Structure 1
Amino acid sequence: MRGWLRGAVGGLPPVYWYLWAGLLINRVGGFAVLYLSLYLTAERGAGAALAGLIVGTYGIGGVVGTLLGGVLTDRWGRRPALLASHLACTAVLVALALSSPLPVIAGLCLLLGLTQAMPGPAFVAAITDVVPAGHRLRAFNLQFWAFNLGTAGASLLAGVLARWSYPGLFLIDAASTLITALVIAWKVPETLGSTVRSGSSVGGLRTVLADRIFLAFVGLTVLQALLTSQTNTIVPLAMHDDGLGPGDYGLVTALGGALIVLGQLFVPAVIDRRRKDRVLALSMVVMAGGFAVLTVAGSLPVYLLAAAIWTVGGMLAAPPNAAINSELAPALLRGRYQAVFYLSFPLASFVAPALGGAGLEYFGSAHWMIVAAVGAVGAGLHLAAGPARDRRASAATPHATVS
């Protein structure tokens, strides 16, 4: 057990663990957005349509915040971008707790999405800066684990605290965000080395958007995200059609979260020293298999089996996805590269329900074979694109890390 633990978490620099702790604290306290729609209807008198529209501004802010966070990460540095975004988010959350007019709340929801999305590129860029290439797979695996562990904790706490006070949710969320900022201010130095920072990020987003190898990787990530997005958009509809209720869907999602929390730390031992393109291809095949099971679903046990399969596929994909992103991004543009990579997920969250809803309506259970086919195609494309990515990663020049 001691040897396994060393293999799972050992050898990572102290700065990484402070970044990891900040991410975990922020996620555990980040429950306000989970109950935003209920807060608007129960406390502020908004109808369902208006509440949905207001919450939608959070997603718009997230897209803008991701791009802005990427640019600021490269221009200002990792530490200033992290501190500015967390402090701004703290202020927005306090303002939400104290505001009652719906137009004001809508504007603050937009700002909340923006400020909560901004730190993402900086976190990943800082981890890439401080963790040696040989340990990044484990580092990103632990980051994914912390994110899901924090999300699970937030879900549990939110259900209890919402009965006490909705504004209290915002204030506690603000407190956890502020604590994260203090941890970063206290223990995280600027990780973009001074010799690297003395250069200039010529080209900016234009350079990212002209990088064909990277854009091909982003496109494949979109395919994977399309599969993942089915689980929280189309799967609930299919379960409803099969006569299963919200509580049954809650069990399906809880199973996925439990598998990640309990099993993610074992993933590095399974995929370490294996080619990333093959791991990602296997991930897509496993996820495709999970959705193929849904063609014969009609009862809760079958849905639980399918969820277990596609969750394992997603667990395999998270570390190599982040590691490949870090390998393809030049040090001066890591924030921008990460921002473009992150946009895969809001894009998929828009496309998946739009196409998936129509697919389920017109094709019925055959829709899931189409989803499985997308996964199989993605697996083949990963194998085809892998050699070019590997050559690019091998040609990358190491840069200075902590200044």
Structure 2
Amino acid sequence: MRNWFRSTIGGLPRLYWYLWTGMLINRVGGFVALVLSLYLTSDRNVALPVAGLVVGVYGIGGIAGVLLGGVLADRWGRRPTLLLAHFGAVAVLVGLTFARPIPAIAVLAALLGLMHSMPGPAFVAAIVDVTPTDDRSRAFNLQFWAFNLGMAVASVLAGALAEVSFTLLFAVDASATLLTALLILWKVRETRPTPPARPARRTAQKSSGGLHTALTDRAYMLFVGLSLLLAILSMQTSTILPLAITGDGLRPSVYGAVVAYAALLIVIGQLFVPRLIDRWRKGTSLAIANVFLGLGFAAVSLADGVLGYLVAATVWTVGSMIAAPPNAAVIAELSPAELRGRYQSVFYLTFPAASFIAPAAGGVSLQYLGDWHWIVCGALGLVAAAGHLLIQPARERRVAQQLEAERFAVPVAG
């Protein structure tokens, strides 16, 4: 047990744990977005189409927040970006508590989406800044674990608080966000690296620029494209899977049980993943992860009862757990030190993109293909797996060059 603890948790920088704690607190309290539509329809008596539009505006704000957060993390620094996002979110949550006109709520929802999405690139960039290369896989594994643990707790709290008072719900969310902001203000110093020194001049010139640098980075965009396939597969659980379960004549509560079971597997098993995959090349890990994801969703085509769906969930959840650490580590490796925030923001765009593609294409696919939709998902997993194996040699050569350049970058004192 001592060896497991040391290899899984021990040895990470103290600053990493402050960031990790802030993410966990913020995620546990970040449940307003989960019940925004319920608040609008049950407490504000808003029609369903209008409620859907307001929630959609929150998503649009999230897209803008991802891009803005990446740019500010590189220009202003990680710490100022995190403080702006969290203190800004507190102000918006207070505003939502007292807002009554629907247009005002819509504006505040867009701002909340903006503030909620801004910290993502800055958090991850700061983790990369302070964590040694060899420890990043463990660091991101723990981050993924904290995210899922926080989401599980947030879902339970959201349902309980919504039954008591939406005002209380907003207040608790704002308090958790404020607590995260104060922790960052107190314990998190600036981590943004200085520009590379003279010996890395050629690399620095190549990587200097804005978002277009990431968007025109061929090696990075190939990886982002494959990550989009993974995100589309993962998004099946929250978009198309409920339709399949109810289509088999099962109660909606079965869907909730399957999702809760998958989350429980991650909370229990994620901490053991690093020891399993540390000896594998990252591209190989991602290929195996995508195979599991594909097989898990393909297995849905055979499921017609609770047991079948639980077996399928077990397989795809194993894939999700294997994918998390190497996926984040590769993004960190491919990102030039002075553009980490921007590179992270480009990657984070895969989530809203998948949130649109998965239900839009999946609904049509399920209607016309039936259970063959899940076979197509399985094939997508195999395509993504093959893609990771094909790009692995060139990506590893690029990473070696990137690591050599980063030797000349030093953290900013702060």
TM-score above 0.5, yes or no: yes
Residue type matched to 1:401 in 2? Answer: P
Matched residue of 2:273: which SS? helix
- 1:366 pairs with one of 369, 372, 383: 372
Matched residues in 1 for 2:189 and 2:12: separation? Answer: 16
Residue type matched to 2:214 in 1? Answer: V
Matched residues in 2 for 1:197 and 1:245: separation? Answer: 62
Residue type matched to 2:168 in 1? Answer: G
Q: Show the 5 A alignment for 1:69-80.
A: 69-80=69-80
2:65, 2:116 within 8 Å by CA — same for their partners in 1? yes
Matched residues in 1 for 2:194 and 2:339: separation? Answer: 15
Matched residues in 1 for 2:20 and 2:52: separation? Answer: 32
Q: Which residue of 1 aligns with 2:124?
A: 124
Residue type matched to 1:191 in 2? Answer: T
Matched residues in 2 for 1:401 and 1:50: separation? Answer: 47
Which is worse superposed, 202-211 or 140-149? 202-211
- 1:304 pairs with one of 307, 310, 313: 310
Residue type matched to 2:112 in 1? Answer: L
Q: Show the 5 A alignment for 1:158-237.
A: 158-194=158-194, 202-237=208-243
User: Residues 365-388 of structure 1: CA distance to partner in whole angstroms, max 9, x if unpaired?
Assistant: 111111100110110010001111
Structure 2 residue 268 is the aligned partner of structure 1 residue 262: yes
CA RMSD of aligned residues (A): 1.4
Q: Show the 5 A alignment for 1:314-325.
A: 314-325=320-331
Structure 2 residue 25 is the aligned partner of structure 1 residue 25: yes
Matched residues in 1 for 2:290 and 2:189: separation? Answer: 37
Q: Which residue of 2 aligns with 1:401?
A: 411
Residue type matched to 1:391 in 2? Answer: R
Q: CA deviation at 1:189?
A: 0.5
Structure 2 residue 339 is the aligned partner of structure 1 residue 333: yes
2:193, 2:337 within 8 Å by CA — same for their partners in 1? no
- 1:246 pairs with one of 244, 252, 256: 252
Residue type matched to 1:307 in 2? Answer: A
User: Residues 159-207 of structure 1: CA distance to partner in whole angstroms, max 9, x if unpaired?
Assistant: 2111221021111111111110110111110001346599897321111
Structure 2 residue 279 is the aligned partner of structure 1 residue 273: yes
Structure 2 residue 361 is the aligned partner of structure 1 residue 355: yes
2:193, 2:338 within 8 Å by CA — same for their partners in 1? no
1:22, 1:183 within 8 Å by CA — same for their partners in 2? yes
Residue type matched to 1:267 in 2? Answer: V
User: Residues 104-128 of structure 1: CA distance to partner in whole angstroms, max 9, x if unpaired?
Assistant: 1011000000000000000000000
Matched residue of 1:375: which SS? helix
Structure 2 gap segments, 5+ residues each? 199-203
Matched residues in 2 for 1:232 and 1:18: separation? Answer: 31
Q: Show the 5 A alignment for 1:52-131.
A: 52-131=52-131
Q: Which residue of 2 aligns with 1:282?
A: 288
Matched residues in 1 for 2:82 and 2:368: separation? Answer: 46
Matched residues in 2 for 1:6 and 1:41: separation? Answer: 49
Matched residues in 2 for 1:334 and 1:194: separation? Answer: 12
Q: Which residue of 2 aligns with 1:150?
A: 150
Q: Which residue of 1 aligns with 2:201?
A: none
Matched residues in 1 for 2:325 and 2:411: separation? Answer: 21
Matched residues in 2 for 1:8 and 1:95: separation? Answer: 41
2:194, 2:338 within 8 Å by CA — same for their partners in 1? no
Which is worse superposed, 17-26 or 203-212? 203-212
Matched residue of 2:291: which SS? helix
User: Residues 257-300 of structure 1: CA distance to partner in whole angstroms, max 9, x if unpaired?
Assistant: 00010010000000103100000000010111111111111111
Matched residues in 2 for 1:100 and 1:6: separation? Answer: 52
Residue type matched to 1:176 in 2? Answer: A
Q: Which residue of 2 aligns with 1:44?
A: 44
Q: CA deviation at 1:325?
A: 0.4
Alignment identity in percent?
Answer: 57
Residue type matched to 1:365 in 2? Answer: D
Matched residues in 1 for 2:10 and 2:251: separation? Answer: 43
Matched residues in 2 for 1:146 and 1:294: separation? Answer: 28
Matched residues in 2 for 1:287 and 1:3: separation? Answer: 30
Residue type matched to 2:271 in 1? Answer: L
User: Residues 210-236 of structure 1: CA distance to partner in whole angstroms, max 9, x if unpaired?
Assistant: 100000000000000110011111111
Matched residues in 2 for 1:94 and 1:122: separation? Answer: 24
Residue type matched to 2:125 in 1? Answer: A
Structure 1 gap segments, 5+ residues each? none
Which is worse superposed, 225-234 or 157-166? 157-166
Matched residue of 1:163: which SS? helix
Matched residues in 2 for 1:168 and 1:101: separation? Answer: 20
1:276, 1:320 within 8 Å by CA — same for their partners in 2? yes
